[in-house]
Structure 1
């Protein structure tokens, strides 16, 4: 083993190592003895764990003496360990954890093996868990009697090393990779994306979903798919038997006053006016499952305090009750707000934010994933076909025109994917002969522009600039429209300038915001008085 000394750690075999005291014992396979008889595995030191009563100590001394006979180069150290019940998982794990924590491992000069053939099944499981979690810098070794008829070989037995770095086992690694790809495909089912950043987020969410029970926080605008993704995470966990309870979803923006407390934490009969019957509440409904709190930033401070206690202690008081109830649930929270700003404003508890901010994932809106518009157009058409039993397609020019508009900076997509879904559904429903033509696309574009206020803004710009408006690039048009809106909301040219140049003005010793804004407007033949009319 790389020139290092080899150290084995293991329990004495209370049954297999105890085969008598006479000469006949040398004709029996004994795992602790056999471990030190392997031709290609020299054990330099054996840490032999044994019980503390006189019978166990006697056996340990006999095993040590026998090893000295057949392997004099092996040092045997006896390690007494008192276990009241060797089948009690908590007791055995705690004792072995204490042993490994206090052991002076020297990985520079020694390699370590954990002998898992001896000891109770509980002890074997605990060895595995401690080794897999790297509390023990070791590999597992398993010994067994040989299947050959040669009596000497049967007494010596065989051994096998088990390396818990599963990535070294090609077939296992490929199977894990295959399962992982299945998990990613499952999470993305219904999310057609070409966005690299979003794909990386999905990969991280998959890892966290399968490895952690800590809360997740999904940040993104309304319609970005937070609810959909939360449900897919739940279904992924359920498929791996990580949860067995319900998926409970609530939009916190709909909760107000006593209704919020009651909906989340439940109430007893008579807790408030109108509480004629007791109610369990959504947190108890999610016991053993997952709770998705969408728009968590809208919760009141009192509800936030009770939620923090429920997350940390799995216990809380229903309204009007002096008896705590319990609920062990996983939490995913969603919000479109900047919770750090809400914390600074005193509207969101800092301790709750810290508790739910361990795993935070941002879901960009459709405007931030314009490369995903085209695949989602196809996805929505396929969904419409499944739901309505009628296949609809764009003709070539209609698709080109709609995609150009939908992917342009002019398209605001304020409702994100929900709005895109509604847009495709409208055109598919109105399409004759299963084809969406150019006329329908133009009608839909007009409808979207009107919904986003683009038509009014374009008309207003035309009134101000006349024929000059038609010669502006989309970049200049959108920028000028935004400047005009700020000017019309401000009480003075200076105030509008401060709003528009609030970052760059800090770098100037004597900022003249009004003059900068006046010169910008003059490029288009505009002035402050014209905009205020």
Structure 2
């Protein structure tokens, strides 16, 4: 790896001495390049434009003592070198604009030169990973002459608990990023984000995000990536996939890739998402939907950072961080044999449950403003409520009548509808009233699962008959019908339905018991099968 030093020009110490006399003086930036054991390939010198000529002379002297060192001069401006905000801002901008190559370069941040304010700023930016390197400190030494001595400091935040308090401003910036800039009020959610911000920066271990559909798991995962990218924690891509869309060979191929000819239809080699996420972040939403085979390969990939694409005997390496999302109870899935216990243990180190919108209803109004801002960005058109319309909407949105079943997805959808229909960019009371009716109607409709069950019963019973049966009896009848449809004859269905009580009777006639039960609803086993086929 190449050794790279990033340093400020020392406007006092670096110009000590005149003519040949300067070689007898300790000059920090020249001296650091005089140590044979610290071979410096590149020297990135930061200076104010008015000291450019001085910087060029120092660069020439560096080349004289270390001919193989390439010196690059970077001009960075601030009006007052003792103004913390100006200096920090200028160095922060430099760090964001500089292209760091951590795979091929090893960085040392020289904090000996510059004002004390500049040195403090370099320290803070290095600790916060804006400069991804170690600190380099030099000092004069009577026994070492002009080259002096140096010390390398590898920062470990855990050793500096008191100093870490000074970074609260940076932490708040990170928290706001994770919240997409939304000023949330819910204390539990804010506490969750506060800890997650620390974990995102300090850990590369898997993170598990749980919570209901629409609670914001996908958006939070992307914001975690943005924060880590901003802090130099990752340099690869953000790769996301909903595991509910992956099945069979497609699941294996999508995640782990395949070799050409690995299966029918594999016409060319495919890298897979794990490889695409190398040095980046992989978000697996609805991870509970993954098959057991995929779960086993994923576990190996997390632990060993290697995996085998389908049809290949050559391992692939990928250094990715995993964020998993789910609205399922994975512990229950483990008991049911649907999810691997060892995989859950591996991804459950950092687990955060995101509350739904109803659980943090005090955050609805700031999220409403956020959605309007997003609409303006995407459509180039500013949309606002008139005062009465906004109050009408909030009165409904905060009331028990607003169910917000899909959580923030419902809020996003209703803002999109109202903003699209707003004449002249103003959402009126009429638009709000129409949207309230639309939401109420949507929330009153059956859930997809219940809707499917009702359709099953309607296949065999008239609407009038169904309305006369209690919901409890409907569910029992539905189960009986499903068992009948899954069996070949009346006796087999009876054995399944009465497998416990039949053992307590002296004589068993399961077929008769089932026929009698179905008869209560004017149904028969044969009728169920014939109606199902037709």
Q: 1:399 to 1:300 in 2, by over 3 A?
A: same
2:329 to 320, 333, 338: 338
Matched, 1:375 2:366: yes
Q: Is the 8 A contact 2:279 2:318 kept in 1?
A: yes
Matched, 1:270 2:252: no
Q: 1:491 to 1:319 in 2, by over 3 A?
A: closer
Q: 1:211-230 maps to which residues of 2 (within 5 A)? A: 211-230=202-221
Q: Name the count of aligned residue pairs.
A: 322
**Counterpart in the other structure of 1:178:** 169
SS of structure 2 residue aligned to 1:369: helix
**Counterpart in the other structure of 2:294:** 303
Q: 1:234-253 maps to which residues of 2 (within 5 A)? A: 234-253=225-244
SS of structure 1 residue aligned to 2:171: helix
**Counterpart in the other structure of 1:399:** 390
Q: Distance in 1 between matches of 2:407 and 2:185?
A: 16
Report Cα offsets for 1:102-157 as digits up to 9, x if no partner. Answer: xxxxxxxxxxxxxxxxxxx99xxxxxxxxx9xxxxxxxx999647xxxx9xx9xx9
Q: 1:88-103 maps to which residues of 2 (within 5 A)? A: none
Q: 1:263 to 1:407 in 2, by over 3 A?
A: same
Q: Is the 8 A contact 2:257 2:272 kept in 1?
A: yes
1:326 to 304, 317, 327: 317
Report Cα offsets for 1:260-317 as digits up to 9, x if no partner. Answer: 0000111111111111111111111111111111110000000000000000111111
| Further displaced range: 248-257 or 231-240 | 231-240
Report Cα offsets for 1:10-36 as digits up to 9, x if no partner. Answer: xxxxxxxxxxxxxxxxxxxxxxxxxxx
Report Cα offsets for 1:340-366 as digits up to 9, x if no partner. Answer: 111111000000000000000111111
Shift of 1:486: 4.9
**Counterpart in the other structure of 2:378:** 387
**Counterpart in the other structure of 1:511:** none
Q: CA RMSD in A?
A: 3.6
Shift of 1:491: 4.4
Q: Is the 8 A contact 2:244 2:289 kept in 1?
A: yes
SS of structure 2 residue aligned to 1:402: helix
Matched, 1:423 2:375: no
Q: 1:231 to 1:145 in 2, by over 3 A?
A: same
**Counterpart in the other structure of 1:451:** 442
TM-score normalised over the length of structure 1: 0.55
Q: Is the 8 A contact 2:284 2:322 kept in 1?
A: yes
Q: 1:51-70 maps to which residues of 2 (within 5 A)? A: none
Q: 1:167 to 1:444 in 2, by over 3 A?
A: same
Q: Distance in 1 between matches of 2:374 and 2:233?
A: 30
Matched, 1:261 2:252: yes
**Counterpart in the other structure of 1:510:** none
2:308 to 299, 311, 317: 317
Q: Distance in 1 between matches of 2:330 and 2:233?
A: 29
Q: 1:439-518 maps to which residues of 2 (within 5 A)? A: 439-453=430-444, 486-487=471-472, 489-491=474-476
**Counterpart in the other structure of 1:284:** 275
Q: 1:318 to 1:167 in 2, by over 3 A?
A: closer
Q: Distance in 2 between matches of 1:301 and 1:318?
A: 17
